Structure 1
Amino acid sequence: MVEGDDVGQPADHGRAGEHADVAESGDAGDVGPGGGGVGQFLVALVFGEVVSQFPLAGGLYQWVRRLWNGRYAWFNAWIYICTITIGITSTALFSSDFLASLFAGTADAPGISSTPTQRLWIAIGMTVVCLICNCFGTRTLALISKIGLAAELIGIVLVGLYLLIFERHNSFSIFFQTSSSNHDNYLIAFIAASLVGLFLFYGFEACGEIAEEVPNPSRSIPRAMQLTVAVGGVAALFAFVGYALAAPDLASILSGKDTNPIPSILQSSLGSVGTKAVLAVIVTSFIAGVMSQQAAASRIVFSFARDDMFPGSRVFSKISRKRRVPMNALLAVNVVPVLIFVFVYFSPDSLTRIVSFQVLAGYAAFMMVVLAALRMRLKGWRPAGAWSLGRWGFVVNVAALVYGVLGMVLLALPTGGSGTSFVDQWITLVGFLVVSAVGLVYLLTMKPDRKSTAPEGDAMEVAERLRRRAAALESTTGGNPA
């Protein structure tokens, strides 16, 4: 069940960045998806070892608490909750153009760019529908996630393969050009394409948020994370290559004249009926993406509250007896997205900045886990879950940390031209620092970490207990634990 829970998410983020990657083209553009996929797979491997030993609801928060301490875990959870909350927002908002194109697109104008009003109501509708579905429990989430996975495979991989084989309007040489039409400096183009790779492979960690709700999580969750990145990588590759080669007017996309190019590419290749069918599949994957992020955010708020480290802990630590869903937490995590929908309505240009902050904050939360795992390894920790990297664990951990730190540097780089204000150029970093500062002030003044008596920093002790238990079980079964 878990293996489908979040597979749709990387492609949803990828679809938001696909236009940018096609616009980069050339060598630089071709590097983005591959580099991001390999790096995030390393992170997924590190997460897999941690969650295999600690298959607990709350994911990142619980992992870093057991790897370091409560204070470090609180700050990580603060950053991550903000990240996933913005993730719900951006995924719902980015779905608006596809929904508008599905219902209002014509043969002459297949791609519809939604108006601010349309975007507002579509995003609210998407969020409410996904919230209602999530209220029915994990089984409903798993079912829709599986449908979303199938939608991704059909709408991206199969269609991308069809476009690649039968509908090529451009040659493969566009991937090997040494310059970018949007940048004078090739280094800038390479950096921009790398950023797209960072956007594409993001969301796999949410598989671990429902670890207490699935069977055999120590084995199934690590496998689900790796599958999520792998499927997202294949989908992103086929989407990028297939759509780029099938674009009937690549110049319009590169120049920014065609702001919603995917429906136009589909219309020229598949006709009206085929375009509508693929758009319906894409919308389905967006629904799965929003649902998975709602589930992830609600579980970490619930886990946070269960340890008495979140404002209103008594309210948010409750679970619905019938559905076994943290209903109060689920409702709460959708309040901020709706407020941001309204903000974006009055300031449409803010969406890109919001998404940039989301990805930087997400990578920061990831690297806090990777750093905590590396620190514990240096102190002697050997992961004792059912899934392990063995002797390769340390090397993979270091490589994942290097990748993540470099990714954060790229994401924090200034954007915009010479006429852009200082704040606008550095808005991603400024936003991240502001959110971090607010969290740190609350942490240092209110000291919420002192309210909790939950275990912390005990990764080595737990690992030793698990090994002793496994050894005892093996001795009583004659060397055959099964």
Structure 2
Amino acid sequence: MGQGCMVAASRVTFAYARDGCFPGSKYWSRVNKHTQTPVNAVWFNTTIGCLLVLLIFAGQIAIGAIFSIGAIGAFVAFTIPITIRTFFVGNRFRRGPWHLGRFSYPIGCAATAFTALMIPVLCLPSLTGSDLTPDLMNWTCVVYGGPMLGALIWWFVSARKWFKGPKVNVEHTMIGAEGNVVEGKDTGSTSGDSGSAMDRKLKGEYAV
């Protein structure tokens, strides 16, 4: 579980740092020259993960909240794009080579419903009535909701004024090995049909 969370968290940390969202983003988004991986982002998450694991000494309730947050975070991250595609994009979505066909919509609905059910379930305490005390309360909603509320406040106060969306840094995967076409413009010698086909791909006429 820890390894899975570490992989996902490191990927997200690098992506947000690349987009300039974090203090010190230039450092966290740095790609190691030897491994070609964002080592700084990985160590950043490793440090936070080790510190959070120390909560195991605070008792089962504290570390249980951390585990629940990991599950909620994964559910939310995976389901947001599914929900957007299912309920907001509709027929404008361009399918790739692998898709679920006519089953896409009902499976998307089921996935969204499952997440909507599991988030409150993971926030519920395991005890009720007179047995429920502050020491045995499930504090997941507070520990998870606090940072999310902070992120929302930060967005409305500051980030929405300067954040322009993800930065594209994978042009080389879209223009082929020759590197002749950048952002849909011909910057070098391209041969006939090859260059034309690549231009069409960059303009989105091919399903991705």
Greater relative contact order (Cα 8 A, min sep 6): structure 1 or 2? Answer: 1
Whole-angstrom CA distance in 1 between matches of 2:87 and 2:162: 23
| Deviation by residue 1:322-362 (Cα, 9 ceiling, x = unmatched) | 111101111111121222233333x1322222212322333
Identity %: 21
SS at match of 2:98: coil
Gaps of 5+ in 1: 1-12, 14-87, 89-289, 457-461, 471-482
CA displacement at 1:441 relative to structure 2: 2.3
Aligned AA (1:385): G
* Distance in 2 between residues matched to 1:360 and 1:448, nearest whole Å: 25
Tell me the equivalent position of 2:195: none
Q: TM-score, normalised by structure 2?
A: 0.69
1:4-23 maps to which residues of 2 (within 5 A)? Answer: 13=1
Q: Specify the alignment match of 1:451 in structure 2.
A: 163
Could you tell me which residue of structure 2 aligns to residue 429 of structure 1? 141
Q: Which residue of 2 aligns with 1:348?
A: 59
Residue in 2 aligned with 1:469?
A: 206
- Tell me, yes or no, if the aligned pair for 1:382 and 1:463 is still in contact at 8 Å: no
Contact kept in structure 2, 1:308 and 1:452, CA below 8 Å: no
Pair 1:404-2:115 in alignment: yes
Q: For each residue in 1:186-205, what CA deviation from the matched residue of structure 2 results, as whole angstroms up to 9, or x when unmatched?
A: xxxxxxxxxxxxxxxxxxxx
Give the CA deviation at 1:455. 6.6
Give the match's secondary structure for 1:323: coil
Please say if 1:309 is aligned against 2:46.
no
Gap change, CA 1:366 and 1:313, over 3 Å in 2: same
Q: Which amino acid aligns with 1:469?
A: Y
Question: Does residue 323 in structure 1 map to residue 60 in structure 2?
Answer: no
1:401 Cα deviation from its structure 2 partner: 0.9
Q: Residue 360 of structure 1: SS of its match in structure 2?
A: helix
Secondary structure of 1:374 counterpart = helix
Query: Aligned Cα RMSD in Å?
Result: 3.0
Q: Partners in 2 of 1:320 and 1:430 — Cα distance?
A: 36
**How many correspondences in the alignment?**
174
CA 333–383 in structure 1, closer or farther in 2 if over 3 Å, else same: same
Asked whether the equivalents of residues 309 and 448 of structure 1 are also in contact (C-alpha less than 8 Å), the reply is no
TM-score by length of 1: 0.33
Query: What is the SS of the residue equivalent to 2:131?
Result: coil
Contact 1:415 1:426 in 2 (8 A): yes
Matches of 2:123 and 2:165, distance apart in 1: 36
Q: Offset of 1:374 from its aligned partner?
A: 2.0
Instruction: Give the letter aligned to residue 206 of structure 2.
Output: R
Counterpart of 1:358, as a letter, is: G
Q: Which runs of 5+ in 2 are unaligned?
A: 169-199
**Deviation (angstroms), 1:465:** 4.8
User: Distance in 1 between the 2:31 and 2:40 partners?
Assistant: 8
| Match of residue 154 from structure 2 | 442
Residues 69-120 of structure 1, C-alpha deviation per residue, up to 9 Å, x if partnerless? xxxxxxxxxxxxxxxxxxx3xxxxxxxxxxxxxxxxxxxxxxxxxxxxxxxx
Structure 2 CA distance, aligned partners of 1:348 and 1:414? 15
Q: Show CA shifts across 1:194-217 (max 9, x none).
A: xxxxxxxxxxxxxxxxxxxxxxxx
Q: 1:303 to 1:421 in 2, by over 3 A?
A: same
- Corresponding residue for residue 127 of structure 2: 416
Residues 381-392 of structure 1 aligned to structure 2 (within 5 Å): 381-392=92-103
Using the alignment, how far apart are the partners of 1:449 and 1:387 within structure 2? Answer: 37
Q: 1:315 Cα deviation (Å)?
A: 0.9
Distance 1:381 1:446 in 2: 31
Partners of 1:423 and 1:430 within 8 A in 2: no
Q: 2: distance between equivalents of 1:454 and 1:360? A: 24
Q: Quick one: distance in 2 between partners of 1:317 and 1:407?
A: 33
